[in-house]
């Protein structure tokens, strides 16, 4: 559900975004102030990402609790969904080009330099130069746009592997006699869960849309300034 929300809201945001250092931050401001309902679409996309990961971690915890790792193909496809989701979120965090966007892009990509022999070359390749610049932002935007569709394909594969042997059976019931009909039981259970989550999500959007955002990212990126809260004492 939230994956589709992210794809739809992200597509609308992409129609107004400018992937250049000079225009990225101002294009986000224009979206917030001048585009009809632009602030809402941006809030849906930003907070939807946070909710996506909240639900993802709950799903992982459920898998650990019920020993779903005993099904290797289901577990590995789920793990890959998690890894690709983190990469997608990181690249999306860079795009508004606030102060924390620049800091995150520089620090996280520099971790590649820890790889022996090829590390520094990889960093230069990712940046498209010797520092975070226009090529970096353009690459991040391009990859961030396409990865949600990759995640969608992986989710389909995840479900296909799940339906080969069925879900985990922690109670050890007979697979046939212990089955519960999807409709109306699981249908109503899932519908209630979606309604509760959407009510909480809507409440967040209306009452506190900036709750999960970093205040420093409301300032345009300045390579010469380190964010105050991470400066050494």
Which residues does the annotation mark as catalytic? Answer: 163, 167, 189-190, 233
**The residue to which tokens 């879900």 are assigned:** 167
| CA nearest to 44, candidates 214, 205, 206, 211 | 205
| CA nearest to 74, candidates 24, 82, 113 | 82
**The residue to which tokens 């309902």 are assigned:** 37
Residues in the chain: 233
How does DSSP assign 113-150, residue by residue?
Answer: GGSTTTHHHHHHHHHTSSSS-HHHHHHHHHHHHHHHHH
């Amino acid at each position: 559900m939230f994956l589709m929300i992210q794809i739809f809201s992200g597509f609308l945001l992409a129609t107004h975004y400018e992937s250049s250092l000079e225009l990225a931050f101002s294009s986000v401001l224009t979206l917030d102030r001048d585009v009809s309902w632009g602030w809402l679409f941006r809030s849906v996309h930003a907070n939807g990402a946070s909710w996506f990961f909240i639900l993802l971690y709950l799903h992982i915890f459920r898998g650990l609790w019920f020993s779903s790792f005993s099904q290797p193909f289901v577990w590995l496809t789920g793990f890959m969904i998690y890894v690709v989701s983190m990469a997608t979120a990181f690249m999306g965090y860079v795009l508004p080009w606030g102060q924390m966007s620049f800091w995150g892009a520089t620090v996280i990509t520099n971790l590649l330099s820890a790889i022996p022999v090829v590390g520094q070359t990889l960093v230069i390749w990712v940046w498209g130069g010797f520092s975070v610049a226009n090529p970096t932002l353009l690459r991040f935007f391009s990859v961030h746009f396409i990865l949600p569709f990759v995640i969608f394909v992986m989710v389909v594969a995840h479900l296909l592997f799940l339906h080969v042997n069925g879900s985990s059976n922690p109670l050890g019931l007979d697979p046939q006699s212990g089955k519960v009909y999807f409709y109306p039981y699981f249908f109503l259970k899932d519908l209630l869960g979606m309604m509760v989550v959407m009510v909480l999500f809507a409440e967040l959007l209306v009452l506190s849309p900036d709750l999960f955002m970093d205040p420093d990212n409301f300032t345009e990126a300045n390579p010469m300034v380190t964010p105050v809260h991470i400066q050494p004492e």
